[in-house]
Every structure is written in structure tokens, then in C-alpha cells.
Structure 1
Amino acid sequence: MTRSYLPGVFAMAAVVVASNILVQFLFGQWLTWGAFTYPIAFLVTDITNRVYGTGPARKVVFAGFIVGVICSLIGTQIMGEFGPLVTLRIAIGSGLAFLTAQLLDVSIFAALRNGAWWRAPLASTLIGASVDTALFFSIAFSATLTWIEPGNDVSWAGEMLPILGSGPVAPLWVSLAVADWGVKIGLALLALVPFRLIVGRLLRKEATAG
């Protein structure tokens, strides 16, 4: 059984590594390319949960968390134009958001497992993604949490601007969070298609092997 869900571990590791690299590259005004790869982590978790159960799904999550910590440690040693690519606040926010959101995803999926096939992956991803976004952006950029890393100047993220250029006025990081959340929600809906196809294939393979 362990060998069966190892591809999930490798897939999660690949998503985390790719997202940590792509987050350095902007996509438009509010996003980075990492915003489009990171939500795949929820798909990997949900597929593992459906096919192999909550235990293996949690192991896949913890594997992704460990890879994320390693990526953060490497990022702290790489200097960019304005300092280390990964600051303490970003590292804490990223790790805490990932672990909390993914484990929440696993629990919600398990609770809804016996419902319609789409309900568990959709609800768990929507809730998990929302928690992930809220935790990461508030920890990494909110002015109220500057005590976490006083030496890290994130005043740029507190610039008051209309949300996404046209909404109510709020700190810049709120616009970044809203844009990121929107991508996660959109991809959660699209991910139902590969979820259905991949789960069906894996379950048939498990039944044949059994």
C-alpha cells in the first residue's frame, strides 16, 4: 500500500518545489505564476484521500510540508534585490498555511466521503484554499504582525489602494490575497474533471491488482 501512494508523495513534492520557484515571477499586477501551480496540491491530497484513505493523505501532506520547509531554508540563503527571497514571516506563513489548510482539507473530505462524488473534493478544497490564503497573506504581510520579524520592512504591502484596482480601499496585500483566492477557487472547480478521471483510473487499477 505504501508503494501505491508514493506517486502522490512525489507529485506533492513537485508541486511544492515548482510553486516555490514560480512565486518569484509575476503574472500581471496581483499574481505570481506560483498561484497557478500551488492549488494542484489540493488535487493531489484529495485524490490520495479518495483512493487510499485519510492516513496516506496525511502522509502526503506531511511530505509536502517537509519539502516546503527545505525550500524555505534554501530561499533564506538566496539574496534578491531587496534581501533574502524568503523572509521569516513568509516562511512561517507558508508553512503554517500549507499544513493547516491541507490537514483541514483531509478532515473535511473524510467527513463528506460518502456523499456525491464531487461534494468532498469541492467543499474540502474551497474551505482549505480559503484558510490557506487568509493565513499566509495575513502572517506574511499584515501590519499587525510586524512583531514576528521587526527587521523585515513590509510597509509596501500596507499601501492603501482600491482592492484589485476598483474595489474598496484596503492594504495592497488584501488585493494580492483576493486575487490569489480567486485563482484557487477557479482551479478548484476545474480540478473536478481531472479528479474524476484520475480517481476512476486508480480505483480500477487497485481493483485489478487486488
Structure 2
Amino acid sequence: MRQSQSVIIYSLLMAGVVLASNILVQYPVQGMVYGISLADLLTWGAFTYPLAFLVNDLTNRQFGPTAARKVVVAGFVVGVAFSFYASVPRIAIASGTAFLVGQFLDITLFNRLRRQSWWKAPLVGSLFGSILDTVLFFSISFAAIFAFIGANDEFALGIAPLFGVFSFMEVPRWVSWALGDLSVKLIFSLVMLLPYGALMTWLRPMRPVNA
């Protein structure tokens, strides 16, 4: 299969992941764990979003960072378009910014580590990309300092026990949301090594890679 065709397929996969995540983020995870209400911390979108890093890393491995950036931009366009349609502009701006910056960081780190142990590039890239993505999204969406982008969500800014149960530490609600979301992303950064490892021998680099 030609590179252009493969990049189109990767772009469609990325767009699908982003679209699915933007839809599933509207549905909280129901259940209780050690007295913590998961619905107050997690949505199903947190479980699909890490697939974006897998698609990004597979593209980067096979075709290099230039192709990976094209795939990320495709996901960015779909994500921003849906976010502006389905949510307020502040959330859309936060979503697009976090996705683009987090994915580009993943590309950069992956490219620098690609010749080391097979697991280092995808793991380090997705870990730091996920951290930056989470910090940017929740900060821009809810932190009071970003009120110039759009109105503050007073409920998100309300002070509450961490994760709703740890009364010894009270934080704005959005901080608990961010930590819950990040926890899932970090776990899935490890889980995604399984499909990456399974596919890496099949999706071999097509040519020497340049930044």
C-alpha cells in the first residue's frame, strides 16, 4: 500500500478516535470504588482517547514525524469542528489546544527515542503527551485565570474534598476531574504497548526517518 493511502487510513482512524472520544465524554462512568463515585470523575471518553496516541505512534513509526503531524491535524480539525458544534467555545478551544500540543509533543519525543528499546518511544511520548494534554484541557476549560476565553463554570471552581472523599485535602472540583482523567490515561499508556508491540513487526518503517 502506498504511503499516501496509508496516511489517509491513519487520518480516518484518528478522526474516528477523536469523534468517538468527543461523544463518549458526555457519558459518565457509573459505579463506586472505595467510596469514590466514578461518575463524578470519569467519562467513557477517557478510555477511548488514549487510542489517539497509538494511532499517532504507529504512523510515526511507519512513515515518520511529517506524516504523523498530518494525521494529528486531521484529528484536530474533526475534534475542533465537533467541539464547537456540541459545546461552548471555551471547551472547544481547550480541547483543540490540548489535543494538538499533546500529540505534537508525543511526535517529538517518539522521534528522539525511536532507535532505543522498542517500548521507550511510545511509552515516554504518550505519558508526557497525556500529562500535557490533561493539564492544558482542564486548566483552559475551568481554571479561573482563563476566564478571558469564556465564562467560568462556578460548579467546577467550587471547593470540595479531593475525589469527593478525601476531606483532608480540598481542591477545586476540576482538579479532581483532571486527576481522575489523567490516571486512566497513564494506565492506558502502558496498556497501549500491547497492541503497539503486536503491530510493530508488521508495520515496519518504510524508509529512513527525518524530523
Q: What is the TM-score when the length of structure 2 is the normalising length?
A: 0.88
Partners of 2:138 and 2:84 lie apart in 1 by 19
Match of 2:52 among 8, 19, 41: 41
From 49, 72, 78, give the equivalent of 1:67. Answer: 78
- CA RMSD, 1 decimal: 1.5
Q: Secondary structure at the match of 1:201?
A: coil
Is the 2:7–2:59 Cα contact (8 Å) retained in structure 1?
yes
Residues 41-120 of structure 1: matches in 2 within 5 Å? 41-75=52-86, 86-120=87-121
Aligned length in residues = 194
Measured against aligned partners, the alpha-carbon deviations of 1:69-108 in whole angstroms (never above 9, x if no partner) come to 2112321xxxxxxxxxx11110110000000000110001
Structure (1/2) with the larger helix percentage: 1
Structure 1 distance, partners of 2:162, 2:61, is: 37
- Of structures 1 and 2, the one with the larger relative CO (CA 8 A, separation 6+) is 2
Structure 1: runs of 5+ lacking an equivalent = 76-85
TM-score by length of 1: 0.88
Percent identity reads 45
Q: Is the 8 A contact 2:58 2:196 kept in 1?
A: yes
Preserved CA contact (<8 Å) 1:143 1:155: no
Q: CA deviation at 1:13?
A: 0.6
Any runs of at least 4 consecutive aligned residues in structure 1 with deviations exceeding 4 A, and if so which?
A: none
The one-letter amino acid paired with 1:122 is L
CA offset digits 1:158-177 (Å, max 9, x no partner): 11112212262110000000
Aligned to 2:186: 185
Which ranges of structure 2 fall in alignment gaps of 5 or more residues?
30-38
The answer on whether the counterparts of 2:110 and 2:121 sit within 8 Å (CA) in structure 1 is yes
Q: How far apart, in 1, do the equivalents of 2:136 and 2:154 lie? A: 18
CA contact (8 A) 2:90 2:140 kept: yes
Counterpart for residue 78 of structure 1: none
Q: What secondary structure, in the 3-state scheme, does the structure 1 residue paired with 2:4 have?
A: coil
Matches within 5 A, 1:1-210: 1-27=3-29, 28-75=39-86, 86-149=87-150, 152-164=151-163, 165-166=165-166, 168-203=169-204
